[in-house]
Amino acid sequence: MQTGYIKKLTDVPADVWNAMVPDDAPFLRHEFLSALEETGCVSEQSGWIPHHIVVVDDEIDEVSDQNEPRTDPSSEPTSERELSDVADSGARETTAAVGATKPTTGGSSADPSRRSDTPTDSSSRPTADGMTLLGAMPFYLKFHSYGEYIFDWAWADAYDRAGLNYYPKLLCSVPFTPVTGPRLLVNPTADQDTVKAAIVQTALSMATEMEVSSAHFLFTDEADTAHLAQAGLMTRTGSQFHWGNDNYASFDDYLAALSSKRRKNVRRERRRVVEQGIEFDNVTGSELTEEHWDTFYRFYRATIDVRGASAYLSKSFFKKIGETMSDRILLTLARHDGKHVAGALNLIGDRTLYGRYWGSTGYFDDLHFETCYYQGIDYCIANGLQRFEAGAQGEHKLNRGLLPVKTWSAHWISHPQFADAIGDFLDKEKQGVSRYVDVMHAHTPFRKAGDETGE
């Protein structure tokens, strides 16, 4: 068994990568991740440099990438990264061979002035041709903490005050996407535990040999969180608000499950939208056109600009996924006087609808709630989807039927004293998150046993 990393997702054929991705995880699909790279949303310039880990079952003579990632963009290529055989150690013990680099003359391979991430000719890169891809993990060298949604700014600040560099760091995530899912991807025919162990060991070995401050695994599912904890990583708990489909036959059936107060509030919000003359178009699959993406991107940028934020995603990215995975996209567009005035982008899994981006070019009462929540819930009920995830955070979602759930991440910190301090913080934070989730559940919007149905 061999492990290594690749610098472009297109080095792996889409069908080979997607064979490891669950049907309910559209953000992990090759089409989504490669679109981020191909349109420049993920790149050296944006501070996300791909180092995707791969595990294969065949011996490869070529290196996975001839050069180590650079932390100084002006540096020249000086080192090599070879795929390494972990079979002899049972893929359970991190060895120097995993992620090994050739030392450069006169300095450490981790010296920022001696690193490079300049790609070599693509002919030297391994592909899945002639081998079986046993496992993989999306992995990035990061020079900031933007677009992550699990915040470590305070950790970076503490490093800075101590005179240490927190960046670069290594990060396993779906860029700009706070959605829980598997991160340690394994071929269904391979031994899950062995391959996952090899992925984790390779990631930690890369972090050590590249002398980064830390490695982070964000929005991991329960199974992967357990694997990472077993490997010695610290785990972190957060929370989001998700909607669950209790086999509702209609939106009114769902409303009947709410308390009288909350049911009246939802009906009032939906009624206001109708009274303002708003209608909706839910567009998916082959119905999506370039004009739809032009319209939606205008909404997306309007919201970004109002907040004074930076747009992580480009119009070309949205159009790209519209071309390559249209059957996984639901674009909800609000219409007023014959013109679209707002929109929300959702991705469709086999069991879950994922709400991601929204925007509007005008103000209408309760339009955000209808576009981002109620239209999505309606779609889930009509199409038999079991869960609706409407983005990160937001206590305002609770009164509309979205309940708190825990999220997880895992973290490796190279500095022993900082690791101890962060570990203490995470222990206390977990207790606080658990109390918060309990309090939110105590304020459930749903009827309790014995409550009257009401109007």
Same domain assignment for residues 252 and 103: no
CATH number, domain containing residue 292: 3.40.630.30
Sign of CA dihedral 288, 292, 297, 302: negative
Same domain assignment for residues 202 and 257: no
Look at residue 139 and tell me if it is in a domain: yes
Same domain assignment for residues 63 and 195: yes
Look at residue 447 and tell me if it is in a domain: no
Same domain assignment for residues 83 and 170: yes
Q: How far is CA 9 from each of CA 30, 92, 341, 435, rounded to the nearest angstrom?
A: 7, 25, 36, 40
pLDDT, greater one: 87 or 326:
326
pLDDT, greater one: 99 or 452:
452
pLDDT, greater one: 337 or 309:
337
Look at residue 49 and tell me if it is in a domain: yes
Same domain assignment for residues 82 and 123: yes
Confidence at 450, pLDDT banded by 50, 70, 90: low
* pLDDT, mean of residues 194-204: 98
CA atoms within 13 Å, Cβ hemisphere of 98: 28
For residue 101, pLDDT over 70 is answered with no
Same domain assignment for residues 180 and 314: no
* pLDDT, mean of residues 423-452: 92
For residue 173, pLDDT over 70 is answered with yes
pLDDT by residue (tens digit) across 341-357? 999 999 999 999 999 99
pLDDT by residue (tens digit) across 285-301? 999 999 999 999 999 99
pLDDT of residue 46: 96
pLDDT of residue 453: 57
Residue with tokens 């940028």: 301
Same domain assignment for residues 212 and 358: no
For residue 375, pLDDT over 50 is answered with yes
* pLDDT, mean of residues 228-239: 98
pLDDT of residue 405: 96
pLDDT of residue 310: 84
Token pair of 213 as six digits = 């401050």
pLDDT of residue 309: 82
Same domain assignment for residues 278 and 324: yes
pLDDT of residue 451: 66
* Angle, alpha carbons 87-94-230 (nearest 5°): 105
For residue 88, pLDDT over 60 is answered with no
Token pair of 111 as six digits = 């010296």
Q: Which of 106-110, 175-179, 368-372 has the lowest mean pLDDT?
A: 106-110
| Closest by Cα among 367, 362, 288, 300 to 331 | 288
Number of domains in the chain: 2
Same domain assignment for residues 144 and 287: no
Confidence at 96, pLDDT banded by 50, 70, 90: very low
Phi–psi pair at 373, nearest 5 degrees = -115, -60
For residue 270, pLDDT over 90 is answered with yes
pLDDT of residue 150: 96
* pLDDT, mean of residues 348-372: 96
pLDDT by residue (tens digit) across 25-76? 999 999 999 999 999 999 999 999 999 999 998 654 433 443 344 444 333 3
* pLDDT, mean of residues 76-93: 31
Contact (Cβ atoms closer than 8 angstroms) between residue 429 and residue 236: yes
Looking at 194, 212, 232, the residue that finishes a domain is: 232
pLDDT by residue (tens digit) across 108-131? 223 333 233 333 333 223 344 556
Same domain assignment for residues 198 and 278: no
Terminal Cα distance for the chain, rounded: 63
Distance separating alpha carbons of residues 180 and 129, to the nearest angstrom: 31
Looking at 186, 214, 232, the residue that finishes a domain is: 232
Look at residue 209 and tell me if it is in a domain: yes
Look at residue 260 and tell me if it is in a domain: yes
For residue 79, pLDDT over 80 is answered with no
Provide the whole-model pTM: 0.85
Look at residue 219 and tell me if it is in a domain: yes
pLDDT of residue 455: 53
| Closest by Cα among 251, 211, 279 to 373 | 251
Look at residue 52 and tell me if it is in a domain: yes
* pLDDT, mean of residues 400-425: 98
Look at residue 423 and tell me if it is in a domain: no
| Closest by Cα among 338, 353, 347, 188 to 278 | 338
For residue 102, pLDDT over 70 is answered with no
pLDDT of residue 449: 72
Indicate the average pLDDT of the chain.
86
pLDDT of residue 448: 85
Looking at 200, 232, 264, the residue that finishes a domain is: 232
Cα 93 versus chain centre, distance: 28
pLDDT of residue 322: 97
For residue 317, pLDDT over 60 is answered with yes
Range of the domain at 294: 242-403
% of the chain residues with pLDDT over 90:
78
Same domain assignment for residues 220 and 364: no
Contact (Cβ atoms closer than 8 angstroms) between residue 200 and residue 227: yes
pLDDT by residue (tens digit) across 157-169? 999 999 999 999 9
For residue 384, pLDDT over 50 is answered with yes
* pLDDT, mean of residues 194-213: 97
Same domain assignment for residues 281 and 209: no
